[in-house]
Structure 1
Amino acid sequence: MSKTFYTLLPDRAVIRVSGPDRVSFLQGLVSNNIETITADKSGYGALLTPQGKFLFDFFVYQQDEDSLLIECERGENGERAAELFKKLRMYKLRAKVELTDVTESYDVIAVFGEDALSTLSLDVAPGTTGHLAEGIKAVDPRLSAIGARVLLPKNSLAEMAAIGASESDVEAYHQLRVSLGLPNGSEELEIEKSILLENGFEELGGVDFKKGCYMGQELTARTKYRGLVRKRLLPIKIDGSAPEAGTAIMNGDKEAGIIRSIHGDHGLALIRLERISDDADLRAGDAKITVVVPDWVSLPATAA
């Protein structure tokens, strides 16, 4: 029996960027190299403040030869997608670009499980992309271990059963996501405060240091080349009563981090690297906290 599961991601929105200047327009704004996005390869990136702080993260797919699709946070009432749309429109200026909110035309689906990529006939390389019916299937551009993302036209979910995937609930996906250390936009990243390299964007393919200038590039490059990463967003295991997001993790009387999210007995926390030695006794409220460093994370030598 295939170990492939799928779930709708109701917190996602889709914006179409079309027109002859679509690539150059986004290239000067976002952290990743939009020129690498093709029918066979999708990508992950972020839009930053001019000071290099997080605003939005998203996935980018090629819809056709004239259009790109940005899959982004929707927000509780659609406000996050509306803010991104407004920001892109503000920077459009004279670029030959058309922006369209096409959220109501698509279902965004996470496909995960041991057999997810083989069920979708996808290679294991992050970002590998193809077509599924009238939609798009892509290995998650960040990390293939999380599975794939599928954009299907509305009312096409029968395609998932047709390939042998079983419906799951969204919480099962998020428990896997946090155990792997993958952020979910503003659920774990602080708007206008978080820094990309503290949140894994370099290892997860969300920033390109060779593409040239983009908004917020100076701080991002300085953080890398001066070795200024002192904190990292990392998975945690929780033993005991789960504290709330925002609770401080303490090592004795010193703060070792802040919990950003909790799903089941796992979560994500922004951890101060100098305070997570092997003998650290980490606590959050009444719970014992264990920090897990995923294989894909590259920590500074002094913190490894």
Structure 2
Amino acid sequence: KSRIINGDNFKKDKIYDVKDLYTATNKDLTFFHSKNYSSLALSTKALYCVTLKSLSNYLPKTCKKIIVDNVLFSMAKITKEFYPNSVVDDFDNSVKEINKTKFKNKAKYGNNVLIGNNVNIGKNCLIGHNTIIEKNVIIGSNCSIGSNVIIRNTIIKNNVNILDGCVIGKKGFGFFPNKNKNVRYPHIGLVLINDNSEIGCGSTIDRGSLSNTIIGKNTFLDNQVHIAHNNRIGNNCIIAGQVGFAGSSSVGDSVMIGGQAGISGHLKIGNNVHIGGGSGVIKDVEDNSKVMGYPAKNLKEFIKSNR
């Protein structure tokens, strides 16, 4: 549903959706709150952008600026106008037992499997006991979904394994602290898991806020890995157990991360990077780097300082 935006400096323009800088079209509204995204701001196609006065010159002339004091708080209010239920994450009451759906004879499944409305499941899929696949989820062919799994707001491509106990597509940990009541940030993005990937037991992957959370092709997550909202993990990555990602970071291709490492938010991890177990990554890491420690530093420096 479109919205009309009024203002002293604006016409009555129709806004069709709210999107991130990269995916917004000339019918959409976006936001720009940090210089870290200046390259995306310069090329955005958005009709409107909510931003700070200090950042407005990064935006193209075709993009109309809405200047505010707090970009993220303003975007939370705007997003809830378009998506009133975007801060709600209740269970899907449309689910029914799989043997009462069209997938009764199309998939192999265990006991107590529940399927929501408008779900699509490809050929040769396995679904374990007590698993819930909620409305609008898409699962490709030759996939294995373990037992006690919950999947919502997610697109899974072909040949993907989701092991037991995973929760995929729940809302992320986004809110504005307040003494009386913390204000939730809306989540309208999806989780996209690409071909030939594996998600280990007990792992959690949050849906995106305005953009999607993405797992690349042939990327393997060990047990108990947490991927927060808006992260983009590249192809051919290997991420060991209990690694945790804060939100909105990007990870390149062929990255290896040792167990219990932590990745701060809004970072860029390059291609072919190795991150040692137990490391704390708090700044960007260049291509082909090997880092370890807290804060993570060049591996040779880490070894030298710990002799």
Same fold flag (TM > 0.5): no
Task: Decide which structure has the larger Cα Rg and report it.
Answer: 2
Give the TM-score of the pair, scaled to structure 1: 0.26
Give the TM-score of the pair, scaled to structure 2: 0.25
Higher relative contact order at CA 8 Å, sep ≥6: structure 1 or structure 2?
Answer: 1
More helix by share: 1
